[in-house]
Chains A and B, each alone.
Chain A
Amino acid sequence: MQPTYYNPEDLKKFGSIGEFQKKLADKFFTYYGEVFAEGELSAREKSLIALAVSHAVQCPYCIDAYSVDAMEKGYTEAQMMEAVHVAAAIRGGATLVHGVQMMNKVKELSM
């Protein structure tokens, strides 16, 4: 086992996950390819969404891949950081909105 859980070189091996379960991996990669193709949203728009989601799910491989992809697709640094703030706002908001549940419970229990 390598001494750290994340190794940048492992990103290049993503395609090899089919080694242990080819059928499901093939289905995933076909799906993945179709998701990121031009559609109702452009491939460029999808790249920025992917960059934001990468931060929300805190996947270093995805952050690496979609930082490059967003640069290649012509986004500015400021646009990329704004996308990260969108992810952060949703994550923060998602935490905070659960505060309503906490408040509901507290009020239910309180005299």
Chain B
Amino acid sequence: MKSLKASQSVLSRADYQLEVLNNQSLAKKMFPDFAAKLTQAGLFPLKPTGIEIFQVNVGKMCNQTCKHCHVDAGPDRKEIMTRETMQQCLDVLSTHDIPIVDITGGAPEMNPNFRWFVEECNKLGKKIIVRCNLTIIVANPKYHDLPEFYRQHQVEVVSSLPFYNADRTDRQRGKGVFESSVQALKMLNQVGYGQEGSGLILNLVYNPAGAFLPATQASLEKQFKKALLDEFGIRFNQLYAITNMPVSRFLDFLLQSGNYEGYMEKLVNSFNPQAAAGVMCRNTLSVGWDGSLYDCDFNQMLELQVSAPTSTHIRQFNLNELNNRDIVLNQHCYGCTAGAGSSCGGNTA
């Protein structure tokens, strides 16, 4: 499967996605304005609570082409963060009290400077999270030692696994992904990840394989733990339940399958003010592959830069200005505020 960009789909354009989301001409139904909904909840303008998580998207290159990917990542994407931009990130991290670095992609491990970046973040004493798609570990012998590398640097591994069986996982992420993911999870378990008392954290991410919302995180975690342990002997720490955002490839799926209106309606009807109060953009800053700054990875993909006029690139990082910015909102934000809420760390309410 090609990325939307490689297949020259109009949906690879951020402006077109925003036009769909805002119902200017393309969708059949108007949905209430997200900002107005936040105003009713007493949360507008949405302000940061500080920067605790420094999320770095080191590139769109990936060995997988998942059907729901909001990054439109894939083997055909060449956008990758340079070492120079990574150094600019490290300069900010070394001079500011930001405790967590969350590294994502694409498959972040495919960035040639990935390991160096992790080592440097480790030297700075930061807690490091890597969003590993699992299959990269077994995709090529040069990645087989990743579990050991992660162990050495005390990296918290967060991995997507949409379901505990092959059928639903492979439909979303590609044929054979479940089998490779199981193999990679066993390799992570072998070096101590997910094992009690090891201190090595392995968290899994569930997101629905279709146009429906996730059930409660606790209930899904119980099912995943039982199924993965009973069938494969796999252990992990926590399951994060994440809602699919109507962005990029999932938006494409919604439109192609005729589910767009129904899904948006569901998100809007499930708006939860408590979940909205805990959204991740309030304590996260997202750095794009080219060093541009965003409120979250979704805004990054929609090219909605932070509303901080003199601090839109990592080289201009100004903590005071960023802490006082208004978070940029749009209709996709309903995805983070539906039901129990959704963030890179799971439920927010």
A interface residues (Cβ-Cβ under 8 A, vs B): 42-44, 68, 71-74, 76-77
Q: Would B167 and A71 count as touching, CB distance under 8 A?
A: no
Flag whether B214 is at the interface (Cβ < 8 A). yes
* B residues in contact with A42, CB < 8 Å: 219
Flag whether B208 is at the interface (Cβ < 8 A). yes
* B residues in contact with A73, CB < 8 Å: 215, 219
Q: Would A74 and B212 count as touching, CB distance under 8 A?
A: no
Q: Would A71 and B165 count as touching, CB distance under 8 A?
A: no
CA gap between A48 and B208 in the complex, in Å: 18
Flag whether B220 is at the interface (Cβ < 8 A). yes
CA gap between A15 and B165 in the complex, in Å: 36
- In the complex, given contacts A73-B219, A74-B219, A74-B223, what are 18 additional A-B residue pairs having Cβ atoms less than 8 angstroms apart? A42-B219, A44-B215, A44-B219, A68-B212, A71-B210, A71-B212, A72-B212, A72-B213, A72-B214, A72-B215, A73-B215, A74-B163, A74-B215, A74-B220, A76-B167, A76-B168, A77-B167, A77-B168
* CB-CB contacts below 8 Å: B35-91 with A: none
Most chain B CB within 10 A, of A42, A43, A72, A77, is at A72
* A residues in contact with B213, CB < 8 Å: 72
B277 to chain A, nearest CB (A): 23
Most chain A CB within 10 A, of B167, B168, B214, B219, is at B219
Q: Would A76 and B219 count as touching, CB distance under 8 A?
A: no
CA gap between A71 and B207 in the complex, in Å: 12
Interface of A is mostly: helix
Q: Which 10 A-B pairs have the closest CB atoms?
A: A73-B215, A72-B215, A74-B223, A72-B212, A71-B212, A74-B220, A68-B212, A72-B213, A74-B215, A44-B219
* CB-CB contacts below 8 Å: B192-246 with A: 208, 210, 212-215, 219-220, 223
For A73, the closest partner residue in chain B by CB is: B215
* B residues in contact with A43, CB < 8 Å: 219
B112 to chain A, nearest CB (A): 38
* A residues in contact with B210, CB < 8 Å: 71
B212 to chain A, nearest CB (A): 5
B141 to chain A, nearest CB (A): 34
CA gap between A12 and B107 in the complex, in Å: 41
Most chain B CB within 10 A, of A42, A43, A76, is at A76
* A residues in contact with B214, CB < 8 Å: 72
B46 to chain A, nearest CB (A): 27
CA gap between A72 and B215 in the complex, in Å: 5
* CB-CB contacts below 8 Å: B8-45 with A: none
Q: A44-B215, A44-B219 are in contact. Are A72 and B167 (CB under 8 A)?
A: no
